[in-house]
Structure 1
Amino acid sequence: MEKRPTKFCKESLVIKTSRVFPSDTNNHNTLFGGRLMTYIDDTASISASRHCRTEIVTASTDSVDFLKPIKNDHSVCLESYVASTGRSSMEIFVKIIAENLKTGERYLAATSFLTFVALDNNGKTVEVPLVEPETEEQKRIHAGAEARSIARKIRLKENQLLAESLSTNIPW
Structure 2
Amino acid sequence: MQAKSPKESLIVNTDQVMINDLNNYNTLFGGVLMKKLDNNATLSARRHARVKECVTASTDSIDFLHPIQQSDSVCVESFVSYTGNRSMEIFCKVIAEDMITGERRMAATAFLTFVALDEDKRPVQVPDITPESQEEKFLYESGKERAKTRRVRRQHSKELTEIIGLEKPWEEEGAYDAENVSQS
TM tier, smaller = over 0.9
Matched, 1:101 2:99: yes
Q: What letter corresponds to residue 114 of structure 1 in structure 2?
A: L
- 1:125 equivalent in structure 2: 123
SS at match of 2:166: coil
Looking at structure 1, the residues matched to 139 and 14 of structure 2 have their Cα atoms a distance apart, in angstroms, of: 22
- 2:49 equivalent in structure 1: 52
Contact 1:21 1:73 in 2 (8 A): no
Looking at structure 2, the residues matched to 19 and 135 of structure 1 have their Cα atoms a distance apart, in angstroms, of: 29
CA positional deviation for 1:63: 0.6
Identity of aligned residues (%): 50
CA positional deviation for 1:79: 0.4
Question: Between Structure 1 and Structure 2, which shows a larger proportion of strand residues?
Answer: 1
Q: What letter corresponds to residue 151 of structure 1 in structure 2?
A: T
Looking at structure 2, the residues matched to 132 and 64 of structure 1 have their Cα atoms a distance apart, in angstroms, of: 25
Structure 1 gaps of 5+ residues are none
Structure 2 gaps of 5+ residues are 171-184
CA positional deviation for 1:82: 0.3
> In the TM superposition, what whole-angstrom CA distance separates every residue of 1:129-163 from its partner, at most 9, and x where no partner exists?
11111111111111110000010000001111111
Q: What letter corresponds to residue 26 of structure 2 in structure 1?
A: N
CA positional deviation for 1:85: 0.6
Q: 2:36 aligns with which of 22, 36, 39?
A: 39
Q: What letter corresponds to residue 19 of structure 1 in structure 2?
A: Q
CA-based RMSD of the aligned residues comes to 0.7
Looking at structure 2, the residues matched to 20 and 124 of structure 1 have their Cα atoms a distance apart, in angstroms, of: 37
Q: What letter corresponds to residue 16 of structure 1 in structure 2?
A: N
1:1-150 equivalences under 5 Å are 4-54=1-51, 55-150=53-148
CA positional deviation for 1:73: 1.8
Looking at structure 2, the residues matched to 159 and 41 of structure 1 have their Cα atoms a distance apart, in angstroms, of: 21
Q: Which has the larger radius of gyration?
A: 2
- 1:156 equivalent in structure 2: 154
Alignment TM-score, normalising by the size of structure 1: 0.96
CA positional deviation for 1:48: 0.2
Q: How many residues align?
A: 169
Structure 1 stretches of 4+ moved >2 Å: none
SS at match of 1:10: helix
Looking at structure 2, the residues matched to 137 and 106 of structure 1 have their Cα atoms a distance apart, in angstroms, of: 18
SS at match of 1:132: coil
CA positional deviation for 1:68: 0.7
Contact 1:82 1:91 in 2 (8 A): yes
> In the TM superposition, what whole-angstrom CA distance separates every residue of 1:41-94 from its partner, at most 9, and x where no partner exists?
000000000000112111000110001100112111000000011111000000
SS at match of 2:4: strand
SS at match of 1:116: strand
